[in-house]
Structure 1
Amino acid sequence: MKVSNPILKEAQAKMTKSEEALQRELGNIRAGRANASLLSRINVEYYGVETPLNQMAQISVPEARVLLVTPYDKSVLKDVERAILASDLGISPANDGSAIRLVIPQLTEERRKELAKQVKATSENGKIAVRNIRRDMMDQLKKSEKDGELNEDQLHDLEEQAQKVTDASIKSIDQITADKEKEILEG
């Protein structure tokens, strides 16, 4: 939806960022399928510096439930393996001397339902963020009217636009959530 008011534009940009943040956070939830974003939070000590794994290794998905981590520098293979073991992934790495394989275990029905609940809770936090942005936007619009920058009709029109922007963002969050739940439950 195209908006022209600067207050609405700023709020719309913030809402889009909230949607993107939700998508990133949901990407970290393991759905029984191999996904390179599962390793996005893992850092490896490389020459005394904590370095993100994805900057020092190629991460590929050769099969649906397998992640292949191939370090650019083979001398850090043991360090990468140690970092994966120390992470909260709960997956045991298999080191073949040149790369590390991570086999994502099949999820139980109970675990799928737990993950679906986690997705819903994370989604609700995204919606709360969007509603907070909407509240701030409405406050700014009312302040603009109070300061004489807007008349009552303009305020009413902008409030309607603000609601449409908010509804579109909530709908987008619902779609992101539905896609992730489907991925988890079908796994």
Structure 2
Amino acid sequence: MANPVDLSKPEFEQVIERLDKELHNLRSGRANASMVEDLPVEAYNSTMALKSIASISSPDAKTIQIEAWDNNLVKDIEKAIISSNIGLNPNTAGTIIRLVMPPLTEENRKNMVKIVHQKAEQARIGVRKVRESVRESVAGDFEASRISEDEKFRLHDQLDKLVSDYNKKIETMADDKEKDVMTI
């Protein structure tokens, strides 16, 4: 029989990956292509991610450069950036759109830290949900006499250690992002 704790690791990893992506998309004062790569753009009569219709780069710490692969999409990309409320204004020259990152104010930095803590808490809730699911699975196996009581306690201990490790990982990620946001 497969160990339910081992089977849950991919679910825990999904929580961590989601947090990593969300934290990566938060503005920290440094230009990062991932901030805009998933912006929805109306192109070719459908909605597409920006990264699928343009190349995105960060030539320096304060600039994101977007080069549309099709001249006809430049206006659509500008419109998507403006309507996204990410606080950046496009500066267009031909097929190249530049987004210059304005410096974050102290108030903006503190708000960003609050958002970081909210995202970390959402991830901890995700970890708890996975833990509860595994605990229910173990309890069901015990009730059906598929595992012994000793095995149940061993699995609970193994699960608690795994949850603790993932919570530490979440805390480290949140602390790193907080330092990044607060660094001027």
Q: Is the shorter-chain TM-score for this pair beyond 0.5, marking a shared fold?
A: yes
Q: Which residue of 2 aligns with 1:100?
A: 97
Separation in 2, partners of 1:85, 1:151: 60
In structure 1, what residue type is equivalent to 2:63?
V
1:74 to 71, 83, 106: 71
Q: Which residue of 2 aligns with 1:50?
A: 47
Separation in 2, partners of 1:6, 1:88: 45
In structure 2, what residue type is equivalent to 1:51?
M
In structure 1, what residue type is equivalent to 2:56?
I
Corresponding position: 1:25 with 2:22: yes
1:153 to 147, 150, 165: 150
Tell me the C-alpha RMSD between the 2 structures.
1.3
Q: Could you say what secondary structure the match of 2:38 adopts?
A: coil
> Which blocks of at least 5 consecutive residues in structure 1 are unaligned?
none
Select between 91-100 and 39-48 the one with higher mean Cα deviation: 39-48
In structure 2, what residue type is equivalent to 1:20?
E
> Under a length normalisation based on structure 2, what TM-score does the superposition of the two structures give?
0.95
Separation in 1, partners of 2:140, 2:41: 49
Deviation at 1:75, TM superposition (A): 2.3
> Which blocks of at least 5 consecutive residues in structure 2 are unaligned?
none
In structure 1, what residue type is equivalent to 2:52?
Q
Q: Is the 8 A contact 2:37 2:56 kept in 1?
A: no
Q: Which residue of 2 aligns with 1:132?
A: 129
Q: How many residues align?
A: 184
> Under a length normalisation based on structure 1, what TM-score does the superposition of the two structures give?
0.94
Separation in 2, partners of 1:67, 1:54: 13
Q: Deviations over 1:131-181 (max 9, x none)?
A: 111111111111111111111111111111010111111111111111111
Q: Is the 8 A contact 2:38 2:51 kept in 1?
A: no
In structure 1, what residue type is equivalent to 2:137?
Q
Q: Which residue of 2 aligns with 1:65?
A: 62
